[in-house]
Structure 1
Amino acid sequence: MNGFIGEFLGSMIFILLGVGVCAGQNLQKANARNSSWLYMAISWGLALTMGVYVAGTFGSQGHLNPAVTIGQAIFGFFPWAKVFPYLAGQFLGAFVGAALVILHYYPHFKASKNEAEGNHVGVFATRPAINAPFWNFVSETIGTFAFIFVLLNLGDFTQGLKPFICGITLAAVGAALGSTTGFALNPARDWSPRLVYTILPVPNRGNAEWRYAWVPMFGPLVGGILAAGLKFILK
């Protein structure tokens, strides 16, 4: 249960702060509207830092990402008995975090009448800059591989300044590789907020674009498995 609670609370904070950045950047009358890509990358990195700190405090290893959990389990770095509680915490925490963003920005969703005014699924989930699904999948795989391979060489993510290093790594990958697809790098980060946008009463809601959702699900999983596999070979 400690693993579930830590992953749930850490993922909730991570997505609340990260999706909150996207809402502030896109929605009408928000003070951060039209801020820079670097601002987004750094802010998502800081959101991850805070989430990992929270997760560690409540007894988990601060994965906050099914691609981290599954890749490590496949190669024996993480026990399979803990996989389901971790995944449940990640997806449920991300859902609650995204739902809280709706409450926080509710007047701004009402003021944003359509996609052209910033009210679109990209506030919650990722969208490609160029819609080329195979290449989008490749981008997510490469980005996630780089991100998770660095994390796997940190040891325990939750100790000392390591959560901050996790955040810096996410910001670096987002700035360098993320502008093709929005750097999901994490199935829970994309699918749970996308589901929130689909089923909860978001004012002026647009299309949730589920036909693209396989990319941020399977690209990160493949990238995470490749990173853990390389770590296993080199250990």
Structure 2
Amino acid sequence: MDYTVAEVLLSEVLGTAILLLLGAGVVATAILPASKGNGGGWLLINFGWGIAVFAGVYVAFKSGAYLNPAVVLGVWASGADTFNSTMDANFVNFLLLSAAELVGAFLGAVGAWLAFKKHFDLEAAPGTKLGVFATGPAVRSYGWNLVTEIAGTFVLVFVLLTFAKNPAQMGPLPVALLIVGIGASLGGPTGYAINPARDLGPRIAHALLPIPDKGDSDWSYSWVPIVGPLIGGALGGLLAMAYVV
């Protein structure tokens, strides 16, 4: 079925909003004071993000469920002629889809803040509050942090494009499991943004929302989860173009 451009973009907004509502929500559950899930740990966060992607993919069915500018770029780099039945693969449509994902990520992060409003009001380290919204490195080394984000996003995009050739047609489930696997395997150094919109939209929300004692939004690091995933996505798409036939 063909959809209008407006329907496609709204699909990306809603899908990415659900992704961030659930994804930021599981981080909040695991790390914010007084949460019943406080101390749930890294694997809880990994599985929560996997389920968040699973839900977001289903919601964004009208657009092809990209939810991630790095995936859009990877599909374009793989030689695809179209992003979906409505939008050709070109720079303008890449920007439109990315903008929709950024808006959705911002809205989803605001939704997570509303759900945990009273917990954000409690005393907690500024880094903990920021960690609900945006990623940050365990060991700050911008060059190596960039390498980590490139690697994780490369795996994401390359494997997603091989899924597209899988005759099993398993839908969003393998995508969700892939997210869990990337987080468990490669997520430790940087928190695995692997998605520019996922990091930038919530980081903007953190900067704008009236969160007590939140500290700064760590803008000095913010370029890493944008540039790294875009490079990794492009590399994954280029390898897929050569490998996936």
The TM-score range, normalised by the shorter chain, is over 0.9
Using the size of structure 1 for normalisation, the TM-score is 0.93
Shift of 1:198: 0.5
Alignment gaps of 5+ in structure 2: 1-5, 84-88
Name whichever structure is richer in helix by fraction. Answer: 1
Structure 1 counterpart of 2:102, one-letter code? F
1:3 aligned residue (3, 8, 16): 8
Q: Residues of 1 paired with 2:165 and 2:213: CA distance?
A: 43
Contact 1:106 1:203 in 2 (8 A): no
Give the structure 2 partner of residue 52 of structure 1.
Answer: 57
Shift of 1:30: 0.3
Q: Residues of 1 paired with 2:194 and 2:242: CA distance?
A: 22
Shift of 1:146: 0.8
2:104 equivalent to 1:93 = yes
Give the structure 1 partner of residue 74 of structure 2.
Answer: 71
Structure 2 counterpart of 1:101, one-letter code? A
Shift of 1:160: 6.0
Q: Residues of 2 paired with 1:74 and 1:155: CA distance?
A: 15
Q: Residues of 2 paired with 1:23 and 1:89: CA distance?
A: 24
- Aligned pairs for 1:118-197 (under 5 A) are 118-119=128-129, 121-155=130-164, 161-197=170-206
Q: Residues of 2 paired with 1:167 and 1:40: CA distance?
A: 13
Q: Deviations over 1:118-139 (max 9, x none)?
A: 33x1110001010011000000
2:225 aligned residue (216, 219, 223): 216
Contact 2:149 2:225 in 1 (8 A): yes
Shift of 1:114: 3.2
Aligned residues: percent identity?
38
Q: Secondary structure at the match of 1:32?
A: coil
1:113/1:177 CA distance change after superposition, 3 Å: closer
Contact 2:138 2:188 in 1 (8 A): yes
Instruction: Tell me which moved more, 38-47 or 199-208.
Output: 199-208
2:43 equivalent to 1:34 = no
Q: Deviations over 1:165-219 (max 9, x none)?
A: 1110000010001011000000000000001001121232122101001110011
Q: Residues of 1 paired with 2:94 and 2:100: CA distance?
A: 10
2:215 equivalent to 1:206 = yes
Structure 2 counterpart of 1:98, one-letter code? A
Give the structure 1 partner of residue 123 of structure 2.
Answer: 112
Q: Residues of 1 paired with 2:110 and 2:48: CA distance?
A: 19
Contact 1:61 1:156 in 2 (8 A): no
1:14/1:156 CA distance change after superposition, 3 Å: farther
Q: Residues of 2 paired with 1:72 and 1:228: CA distance?
A: 6
Q: Secondary structure at the match of 1:172?
A: helix
Instruction: Tell me which moved more, 104-113 or 44-53.
Output: 104-113
Alignment gaps of 5+ in structure 1: none
Give the structure 1 partner of residue 21 of structure 2.
Answer: 16
Aligned residues: 230
Q: Secondary structure at the match of 2:111?
A: helix
Shift of 1:225: 0.3
Give the structure 1 partner of residue 3 of structure 2.
Answer: none
